[in-house]
Each structure stands twice: as structure tokens, then as C-alpha cells.
């Protein structure tokens, strides 16, 4: 089932909060286990929903989970979609500042698909922009997508931010992104989604 189907239901019912806490705890625990097995270090990224991010207790919750599971905060990255960040920018800045003080990394997911204000972007305590797959898909054939991806990478570099491209499926896409200086990539070119046990085998 697609997240686009179950997340709105979970948010409307209020179940997104216990589900979200379970996801963060499970991801942190798995990251700790991977490193205990000598397969790290790595950064575990977890998507946040709008409802989760709006909770004033979120920074305390994440900090508590990290303490309980024994994972240093620099190995956790919380992903926030551009639309959520821009929905309540002042509240987003306060939450990001709190998480940043705790050493927890934040990234902006689906960058370029919302209505970003660059004046807010420079105030957000994020360290990475994720280039949406809708721009990556046709970068080898669509001049506009190519220009947008290049511009996002250049903007991020100028602001001292890292970039990660999502939806990379071909070696041609990978070559273009490398040429433009994209820092990281994710997509089916590297791996399909894996279970925790499959991931351990993949890393080995």
C-alpha cells in the first residue's frame, strides 16, 4: 500500500503519532544495530508527517528515543517535505532550531515541488535538500528539468547545503548528477526497497 493512501488515514484518525514514534524508534534501533555489527557508520533518514512535525513535544521525543537506544544524534536525519515546512514557517524554524541544538540533522524533502520562499530557506536549520524525482526522471531528455536540477544543486552549494537526488534509475542520470556535483543519490539504480535483514546482507 502506498504511503499516499495510508498516511492521510493515519493522520485523520490520530494514529500517525504512535505510528510515527514507533517508526523513529525502530529506525534508530536498526541504525544502532547496523553499527554494532561493524557495518557503519551511516545516517538513518526518517520521514516526518505534517502532524508529527506540528507537535511541540517532537524534539523531546526524538531526543529521548536517541538516549534510550544509544544512538548519537548525528546519525539520525529527519526529512520534512517542503510544503510542511512552508505551511507554518515560524513554527518550523523554532522546531528546527530545537532539533539542531540537539545535534539532529534535518533535510528538506521533495524540494522544488512546493512554494519555497528563499528568505525562509536560509533561516531553516537544514543541511540537505532532496531533489524530487519528478525533476530527475527526465534530466537526460528534458532541458527544463536539467536546468532545474542544476540550479538546485548550485543554490544548495552556495548556501553550504548538501544535495541528494531521489529516483535515480539509470547510469545516465547518475553521470549527469555527478557532473553537476550532486552529493548523494538514491533510487532503483542502487537498490530496490529492502527489509532490515536484507539490508544487512546488502551492506555486507
The DSSP-derived string for 93-145 is HHHHHHHHHTT-EEEEEEETSS---HHHHTTS--SEEEEPHHHHTTTTT-HHH
Q: What is the pLDDT of residue 7?
A: 87
**Contacts of 116 by beta carbon, 8 Å cutoff, 6+ apart:** 82, 86
Distance CA 173, CA 204 (A): 26
Q: Does residue 110 register a pLDDT over 80?
A: no
Q: What is the pLDDT of residue 149?
A: 95
How many Cβ atoms from other residues are within 10 Å of residue 171's Cβ?
9
pLDDT tens digits along 112-138: 666 556 767 777 888 899 998 999 999
What is the average pLDDT across 64-82? 92
**Contacts of 38 by beta carbon, 8 Å cutoff, 6+ apart:** none
Q: What is the pLDDT of residue 112?
A: 67
pTM check: above 0.85: yes
The helix (H) or strand (E) run that includes residue 157 is helix 143-158
Q: What is the pLDDT of residue 60?
A: 94
Q: What is the pLDDT of residue 117?
A: 61
pLDDT tens digits along 153-186: 999 999 899 999 999 999 999 999 999 999 999 9
Q: What is the pLDDT of residue 116?
A: 59
pLDDT tens digits along 6-29: 888 998 998 999 999 999 999 999
Amino acid at each position: 500500500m502506498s504511503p499516499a493512501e495510508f498516511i492521510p488515514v493515519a493522520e485523520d484518525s490520530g494514529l500517525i503519532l504512535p505510528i510515527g514514534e514507533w517508526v523513529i524508534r525502530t529506525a534508530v534501533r536498526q541504525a544502532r544495530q547496523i553499527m554494532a555489527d561493524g557495518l557503519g557508520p551511516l545516517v538513518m533518514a526518517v520521514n516526518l508527517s505534517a502532524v508529527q512535525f506540528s507537535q511541540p513535544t517532537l524534539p523531546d521525543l526524538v531526543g529521548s528515543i536517541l538516549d534510550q537506544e544509544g544512538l548519537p544524534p548525528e546519525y539520525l536525519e529527519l526529512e520534512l517535505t517542503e510544503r510542511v515546512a512552508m505551511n507554518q514557517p515560524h513554527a518550523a524554524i523554532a522546531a528546527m532550531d530545537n532539533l539542531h541544538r540537539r545535534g539532529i540533522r534535518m533535510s528538506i524533502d521533495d524540494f522544488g515541488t512546493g512554494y519555497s520562499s528563499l528568505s525562509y530557506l536560509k533561516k531553516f536549520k537544514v543541511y540537505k535538500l532532496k531533489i524530487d524525482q519528478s525533476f530527475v526522471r527526465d534530466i537526460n531528455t528534458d532541458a527544463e528539468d536539467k536546468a532545474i536540477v542544476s540550479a538546485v544543486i548550485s543554490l544548495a552549494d552556495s548556501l553550504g547545503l548538501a544535495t541528494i537526488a531521489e529516483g535515480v534509475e539509470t547510469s545516465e542520470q547518475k553521470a549527469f548528477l555527478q557532473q553537476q556535483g550532486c552529493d548523494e543519490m538514491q533510487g532503483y539504480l542502487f537498490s530496490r526497497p529492502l527489509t532490515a535483514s536484507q539490508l544487512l546482507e546488502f551492506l555486507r
